A and B are shown apart, each in its own frame.
Chain A
Amino acid sequence: GAGVSQTPSNKVTEKGKYVELRCDPISGHTALYWYRQSLGQGPEFLIYFQGTGAADDSGLPNDRFFAVRPEGSVSTLKIQRTERGDSAVYLCASSLNGASEAFFGQGTRLTVV
């Protein structure tokens, strides 16, 4: 597609459940980022992929959060045992090579009830 696509756009889940959020980057972009945006805050970095590998996962808040990008394109952010504090908009971005402009998707709004 023309831009970064994130699915679903909205996700409501019960506390304790497992969720997966998907990001489809711009074709040919090797760099992929996940950010989390809580209400009233700016986006906060979670993880950065260069190709298939997680080059920097220092922003993941704890071991309930995990992300993969097995073929160097689509990425999935996985959250285990969700907590109400995980409620936020999860943003994905991609860039051509990590040193150029990052393009953001519209985000997935996760609500944990």
Chain B
Amino acid sequence: AQSVTQPDIHITVSEGASLELRCNYSYGATPYLFWYVQSPGQGLQLLLKYFSGDTLVQGIKGFEAEFKRSQSSFNLRKPSVHWSDAAEYFCAGLLTGANNLFFGTGTRLTVIP
């Protein structure tokens, strides 16, 4: 069955520290992959996406993600976290030709001063 797994439910980092959020996928074929951010009371906002090609993808707000086929992973990174990055982050996959995104359960990021 197709799935996306985010093993970390909650992560706390200090402001200015680096960040890595993990995402693993399980599909019959390599899906398109996405990272979304959801702030309290806000809709989901797309941070970045991977369809094919360069495995290091740059997104908005200084985020990047690296696709690693050998590890079935698509981890999200940011070199220096800002307090405004505190939010819920969702990894999602989409099979070619499919209509719907499969979301992970999310990772809640807390940023401490």
| A 13-42 binary contact with B (CB < 8 Å = 1; else 0) | 000000000000000000001010000111
Tally of chain B residues near chain A (CB < 8 A): 19
Q: Is the CB of A91 within 8 A of B44?
A: yes
Q: Which residues of B contact A107 (CB under 8 A)?
A: 43
Q: Is the CB of B49 within 8 A of A101?
A: yes
Please measure, in the bound complex, the distance between the C-alpha atom of A40 and the C-alpha atom of B4, giving whole angstroms. Answer: 15
Please measure, in the bound complex, the distance between the C-alpha atom of A45 and the C-alpha atom of B92, giving whole angstroms. Answer: 12
Q: Is the CB of B49 within 8 A of A42?
A: no
Tally of chain A residues near chain B (CB < 8 A): 24
- Chain A residue nearest to B106 in the complex (CB): A42
Among B43, B99, B102, B104, contact of A91 (Cβ-Cβ < 8 Å): B43
B20 smallest CB distance to A (angstroms): 19
- Chain B residue nearest to A105 in the complex (CB): B43
| A 74-104 binary contact with B (CB < 8 Å = 1; else 0) | 0000000000000000010100001001111
Q: Which residues of B contact A41 (CB under 8 A)?
A: 105-106
Q: Which residues of A contact B36 (CB under 8 A)?
A: 104
Residues in B lying within 8 Å of A, measured CB to CB: 4, 36, 41-46, 49, 90, 92, 99-106
Q: List 24 A-B contacts (CB under 8 A).
A: A3-B43, A40-B105, A41-B106, A42-B4, A42-B92, A42-B104, A42-B106, A43-B90, A43-B103, A45-B100, A48-B99, A55-B99, A56-B99, A56-B100, A59-B100, A91-B43, A101-B46, A101-B49, A102-B101, A103-B46, A104-B44, A106-B41, A106-B43, A107-B43
